[in-house]
Amino acid sequence: MTDPGARTLDVSAIQALLHPESIAVIGATSDANKLNGRPLHYLRRDGYRGRIYPVNPNYEDVIGFKCYPDVESLPEAPHMAIVAVAARRVVAAVEALGRKGTRIAIVFSAGFGEMGDDGQRLERDLLDAARETGIRICGPNNLGVINAFDGVTATFSQYAFEPPVVGPVAFASQSGAFGTGIAALARNRGVGFGYFVNTGNEVDITLTEVLEQLLEDDRIDVAAAYLEGLKSPQSLLRLADKAIRLDKPLVLTKVGRKAAGIRAAASHTGALAGEDAVFDGVARQHGIIRARNEEHMLDLVSAFATCSAPQGPGVAIITQSGGAAALMADRAEELGLEIPVLGEDTQAQLREVIPPFGVPGNPVDLTAQFIAEPNVLTKSVKIALADPVIDIAVVWFQLMNAFVDELIDVFLELKRSVRKPFVVCWLAAPEAALARLREEGIFVIGATERTIDVVAGLHAYGEARRRLRGTTRPGNDTAMPSGTDSARPLPSIAARSLLVDAGIPLVDAAFATDADTAARIAERLGMPAAVKIESPDIPHKSAADGVRLGLATTDEIRAAVDDVLAAASEHRAGARIDGVIVQPMAESGTELVIGLRRDPVFGPVVMVGLGGILVETLKDVTFARAPLARGDVPLMIESLKGRAVLQGVRGQPAVDLDSLTDVLMALSQFAVAHPEIAEIDLNPVFARSDGVVAVDWLVLSTEPR
C-alpha cells in the first residue's frame, strides 16, 4: 500500500470540506428523519451562509431551497457536495460532480470496502472516478463533517440533533457511531468541538490529513482523534510534528492490538509485539498523547484546552480529605509523577495558614474547616505553588453546595495570580459550579484517580514539548522494502562484518567447517569459548541444540563441534549445514534484546527490551522509529517496566547508558541506510558498566549472500 500521506497535503480540498462556499446535497429530501434529509435542515438551523443546492430529480424544492434534477443543471460547480444516494449510484454522482468542478465530495453511502469483494470493487471504481475528474473524497461510509464556527453542519450524525457547540477542539474519528458518542459526551461536559470530522472508509482523504489542516486554525488549541487503523503514517508524523511546533496537543485513542502484518519471519523475537506496541512507541517518540478510551480522551482534551503543561513532575496535592489524597498519591507514583516534600519555608508558611487539625506536608490536608475561611484554600495553593519543587497543584474537595460562590472566587483569584497550572477535582459538585468554572477556563473534573491521569497527561505533553521543540528529525521511507517477507538469514560472519562496520559491538567470532579448525580458532580467540551451529536453515540455534557454551579446552571444542553437527542433522533432516561459529565467551552482564524491524506501517523501527526468558512472557520491549534522536533513547528506556535493572540492582553497577545509546543510534542509522535488511536481532546483548556487547545476532536480508 502506498501511503497517501506521502503526497502533498491538498489544502484546497480540505478547505472546501470544512469551509465550503457552496454545498450540493445529492439525493436531498425534506424528511429530517432520513439521513439524506438531515443536512439541509441542520445547515439552515445553524446559519450556514454559503449557497445550498439540493439535487434530486423528484423535487422542485426541498424545505425552501430550489432543487435541481441533476448535477449538470446546477448554476455553478458546488464547492463541496454531500453524496447521499444508494451505493451503486455513487460513482456516477461523483463523476458528474468531478466533471462539474466540485472540489470534494462527502460520501455518506455505505456498501463499499466494508462489504466484501463487491464493495471493494465499487470503492476502487469510486476512487478511479475521483482521480479521473480531480474531485477528492471524504468517506465513503461516513456521516459527514461539522465546522461549528461557520454553521457547516454537513452531517447526519445524531450529535447534530442539537446545534453543535463552538470550542477550541478539532476532533476527527474514523468511526461514525463512536465519534458521535464522543462528541455528545463532550457537549455534555461543556467541551466544544469546533470541528467534528468523520472520515469513514478513508478511500482518499485521511483523518490525519484533515487534522493537519485544522491545526492551522487559530481558533483551535487541541486536536483529538479516534483511530481504528492508520491509513497514512507519514501524515500522522507530520501532524504530530506540527502539533508540537504550534504547541497544540494531539490526543489520540487508537483501538486494536491485532498485528496488521504478522510475519512468519524466522527470528528470535519476531512474535514479541504486534503493530500496537510499535504505534505506542512511535506516538510517544513524536509527542502524541495516547488516551486509553473516550473518557480519558475527553479528560485530557478539556485539560489541554484550559491548562498549561507543568514544567516538571512535581505535584502538590491539596485536599480536605487525607483519604482522597492517599488515593491520588498512589496513582501519581504509578504514573511516574512526584509528590515532593515541601521545603521547610513552605511548610512554615502553610502552618500559619491551615487549621490546627491540618497537615502541612504534601499532600496538604486542609480538613473541612477551610470552608469557614475560603482564603485558607487560596493561600495554601499559592504557598505550595511558590515552592520550586512544585510544578502543578491539584485541589480536591466534595459537595460544598452552600459555598459555591466562595469557591469559584477562590479559583478565579488563583487563575489571576498564579503562573503555574492547577487542576480542580470536585466530587459531586453542583452542576452550576462546574459550568461556571468551565466558562472561566478552569479545569475541573469529578473523579479522584482520573485527576491524576490528567496531570500525568499534561506532564507527558510538557516533557515531549521540551524534548522535541527545536529538533528536526530527518524523515525516512516508511514504505516496506520489497521482498521483506522472504528475507533470509545472512551467514553469521557476513552479518557480523556488516554490523561491526555499522559501529555495533559484537563479540569476536570465526567460522569453521571442522573440529580441528574450530579448536585452533578457539585458541586464537581465547577460551573459554562457545561453539554454535551455522546453517541458513537453522536460525534458532538453541532450539536445534546447536549451541555449546563455556568450552574450556581444545578437546571440549572438538567434541562440541561433533556434537552440534550431529544434533543439527538430527534436529532438521536435509538442512544445509555450513559448519560452526566459534566465539570467545563474553563477560556476562545485564541481558538485553535489541532489534530492528520493518513495521508495515512505520517502516524501520528500533527495539530495545530486557532479555532472558521473561522478555517473551512479559513482552517488556519498546520501540521507536528510525532514525532515532539521542533524546528518544531515555524515553524508550523509561517505558520499560523493568528499567530499574539498567540502573543496577543487587550491587550490580548501572549499565553504561551512553554505550547503549550509541548502539541504538548506530542500529537506527544502519536501518535507514540499508533497506535490504529486513530484520536484525541482537539477543542476548550483555550490558555492563563498561559497555555493551551482543553475543548472538541474526540478520535477515532480502539480498542474501
Pick the closer one to its own copies by CB: 153 or 484.
Answer: 153
The rounded Cα 361 to chain-centroid distance in angstroms is: 37
473: contact with its own copies by CB under 8 A? no
Position among 15, 398, 569, 669 found at the interface with its own copies (CB under 8 A): 398
- The yes or no reply on residue 610 touching its own copies (CB under 8 A) is yes
CA distance 458 to 421: 10
Name the grid cell of 258.
491485532
Report if residue 110 touches its own copies, rule: CB under 8 A. yes
Q: Does 336 bind its own copies (CB under 8 A)?
A: no
Residues 76, 132, 216, 330: which binds its own copies (CB under 8 A)?
Answer: 330
The reply to whether 36 sits near its own copies by the rule CB under 8 A is no
Burial of 158 (0-12, 13-18, 19+ CB in 10 A): middle
> What are the grid coordinates assigned to 525, written together?
580467540
Residue with smaller CB distance to its own copies, 20 or 113:
113
The yes or no reply on residue 257 touching its own copies (CB under 8 A) is yes
HEC readout, 180-211 = HHHHHHHHHCCCCEEEEEECCCCCCCCHHHHH
Q: In angstroms, what is the minimal distance from the CB of 668 to its own copies? A: 26
Separation between Cα atoms, residue 102 and residue 17, nearest integer Å: 11
Q: Does 55 bind its own copies (CB under 8 A)?
A: no
- Contact set for its own copies, span 357-386 (CB under 8 A): 357, 367-368
Cα–Cα nearest to 35, from 124, 174, 144, 182: 144
- Residue 65 or 108: the one with the smaller Cβ distance to its own copies is 108
Helices 448-468, 322-334: axis angle to 10 degrees equals: 40
48 interacts with its own copies by CB under 8 A: no
Given 397, 443, 602, 623, the residue binding its own copies (CB under 8 A) = 397
Q: Is 696 helix (H, G, I), strand (E, B) or coil?
A: coil
Distance CA 704, CA 494 (A): 10
Task: Quote the least distance from Cβ 276 to its own copies, whole Å.
Answer: 9
x/- letters, 512..551, toward its own copies (CB under 8 A): ------------------------------xx--------
Of residues 623 through 652, those in contact with its own copies by CB under 8 A are: 641-645, 649-652
Residue 322 as a binder of its own copies (CB under 8 A): the answer is yes
Nearer to its own copies, 133 or 369 (CB): 369
- How big, in percent rounded to 5, are the helix, strand and coil portions of the chain? 40, 20, 40
Told to check if 177 binds its own copies by CB under 8 A, we report yes
Q: Which of 44, 46, 133, 178 binds its own copies (CB under 8 A)?
A: 178
Q: Which of residues 276-295 bind its own copies (CB under 8 A)?
A: 292-295
Indicate whether 553 belongs to the interface with its own copies (CB under 8 A).
Answer: no
Sign of the torsion angle spanned by Cα atoms 424, 430, 435, 437: negative
Q: Contact between 696 and its own copies (CB under 8 A)?
A: no
**Axis-axis angle for helices 207-214, 233-245 (nearest 10):** 20
Q: Which three cell numbers stand for residue 398?
A: 466534595
Would you count residue 163 as binding its own copies (CB under 8 A)? no
Q: Is 55 exposed, middle or buried (0-12, 13-18, 19+ CB in 10 A)?
A: buried
In the complex, minimum distance from the CB of residue 400 to its own copies, in angstroms, rounded to a whole number: 7
Among 109, 208, 253, 484, binds its own copies (CB under 8 A): 253
Binding residues for its own copies restricted to 114-143, rule: CB under 8 A: 114-115
Q: Per CB under 8 A, which of residues 581..600 are in contact with its own copies?
A: 590
Rounded to an integer, what distance in angstroms lies between the CA atom of residue 241 and that of residue 248? 10
* Binding residue count for its own copies, defined by CB under 8 A: 79
Strands 80-83 and 65-66: unpaired
Measured from the CB atom, the residue of 130 and 325 that comes closer to its own copies is 325
